[in-house]
Amino acid sequence: MQKLIYWIAPFYTAFIAYGSLADSTVPSIKIQNIDKAYHASAYFLMMMFWYLFFYHRYLERQIHFEYNLSLIFSQWSKTIGIAAAIFSLVIGGLLELGQGFISENRTMDAFDMMANGTGIIIAVFVLWLISLIMSRR
């Protein structure tokens, strides 16, 4: 489980980067702004994965390192949460710029960036809420 947590964030981010910059051959769904829900969902997951990654790295550097997923979820780290949120937002911004300047059939969209930020904010709130619930047990 430790190795999965360690590697899922970079691989997921690479998957999102590829999906954001590669030419799309997938037929589009005719629901207005459905791509914004995709963006919010993708960056919700990205934020969660990077939070777990950074928290795992923090725990590894402790003298009495004991990896426990419930420990990570029950002890919210504001610093790690902010770092993971900023990191995810920067990745989203760079990918949007890449869509504007690198990709041939993709366009840069400020609303996509807002959807990314919305997913990240929801992830921060969910992590904080999980921590609050688990710490009261």
Convert the pLDDT of each residue in 1-31 to its tens digit: 667 877 999 999 999 999 888 877 666 677 8
Q: Is this structure's pTM higher than 0.85? A: yes
Question: How confident is the model at residue 84, as a pLDDT?
Answer: 96
Q: Per-residue pLDDT tens for 63-119?
A: 777 777 777 888 888 999 999 999 999 999 999 998 888 877 778 888 999 999 999
Give the 3-state DSSP-derived string for the chain, with helices as H, strands as E and coil as C: CHHHHHHHHHHHHHHHHHHHHCCCCCCCCCCCCHHHHHHHHHHHHHHHHHHHHHHHHHHHCCCCCCCCHHHHHHCCCHHHHHHHHHHHHHHHHHHHHHHHHCCCCCCCCHHHHHHHHHHHHHHHHHHHHHHHHHHCC
